Amino acid sequence: MSQPSQTTLTFEEIIAPVTREEFFERYWNKAPLIISRGDRGYYGDLYRLQDVDRSIFGDSHCQDDHVSLIPPQGSDEEMTTHAPSDLAYDEMYRAFNKGYTIRFASIQSTWSPVARLSAAMCEAFSARVNVNCYLTPASSQGFKIHIDTHDVFILQTHGAKDWFVYETDDYALPLKTLDTHHTDIRNQYKSPLTDDEVKLKHRIRLEAGDLLFMPRGVPHKAIAAPGEASLHLTFGIHPLYWVEYAKAAMEMLAVHNRSFREPLPVDFVTNPEVAASMSAHFAEALKAAMAQNPSFERTTECMV
């Protein structure tokens, strides 16, 4: 059984030959980046096909639901999520032999080479980084066309996968919290999408050693190439956003502003007159809060 390697990759090596400066100028929050290297061993021993079994056995005691069985397109089955301690080894591979994609979530917490690269990415982006592993049978497709609400780096470590990347002008830089709570935004850019709703921009076959970066909001789907299983790692980048910074600033102000700590009127939902009166109160509270001059320095300390 294989052991985790001591391979340590840097963010700069992941995006090479693109430089760090070029990446943040041309691609971050702007456009997909595709790197075809022709070097199947480029990622070294980061996470190989033979490492899958070891990581499964290593997690066999884990109670967290971080193993997902994703049925192939055309199946009537639903995706299921399991704790490794509750999922029989042979059950998982029976599903794989039926075309299911197996997703292992947050493997940076259990596999040291991935943890080291994840830490390097955290430092490069000043962001939280989560890493999922996808093991897909040959010629199988897990998800329909969809968007992600966070940026992703896709590192192909075994086999090959065809990625279909589509154009989008509907809703740039989506946020999960906004998509969840605001119907107008959710309807403006619904996911999953269909082929007749989007225009294909790139079709790329990622071979082992290749990389694909996609900003959040870019529609895409992926199908494993024929012949052998595909294994790739998805590094999800979760930075702090300005909306979260503004929220933190308001929370700091609430410490010294009683009006922001008070509850809304208990009958504002059922009494239109009470709801109407809240508009003036809200405006006054905002004016009072802004008069306190929110501190950039104190908010920054709170966030980090």
Residue 2 pLDDT grade (very low, low, confident, very high; cuts 50, 70, 90) = very low
Least confident of 141-145, 229-233, 279-283: 279-283
* pLDDT tens-digit series, residues 108-146: 998 999 999 999 999 999 999 999 999 999 999 999 998
Q: Mean pLDDT throughout 97-107?
A: 94
Quote the CA–CA distance of 295 and 95 in Å, as a whole number: 54
Quick check: 157 pLDDT over 60? yes
Least confident of 170-174, 241-245, 266-270, 291-295: 170-174
First vs last Cα of the chain: how many Å apart? 40
Q: Mean pLDDT throughout 39-61?
A: 83
CB 22 within 8 A of CB 33: no
Q: Report CA-CA distances (Å) from 184 to 151, 181, 189.
A: 22, 9, 9
Q: Report CA-CA distances (Å) from 261 to 30, 47, 192, 236, 253.
A: 39, 49, 39, 35, 10
DSSP state of 146: B
Quote the CA–CA distance of 106 and 115 in Å, as a whole number: 10
Return mean pLDDT, the chain. Answer: 86
Residue 251 pLDDT grade (very low, low, confident, very high; cuts 50, 70, 90) = confident
In terms of Cα–Cα distance, which of 217, 220, 221, 239 is closest to 171?
A: 217
Q: What are phi and psi of 39, to 5 degrees?
A: -135, 95
Tell me what pLDDT residue 186 has.
Answer: 46
Quick check: 276 pLDDT over 50? yes
- The SS3 of residue 69 is strand
* This prediction's pTM: 0.86
CB 231 within 8 A of CB 169: no
* pLDDT tens-digit series, residues 64-80: 778 899 999 988 899 99
Quick check: 183 pLDDT over 60? no
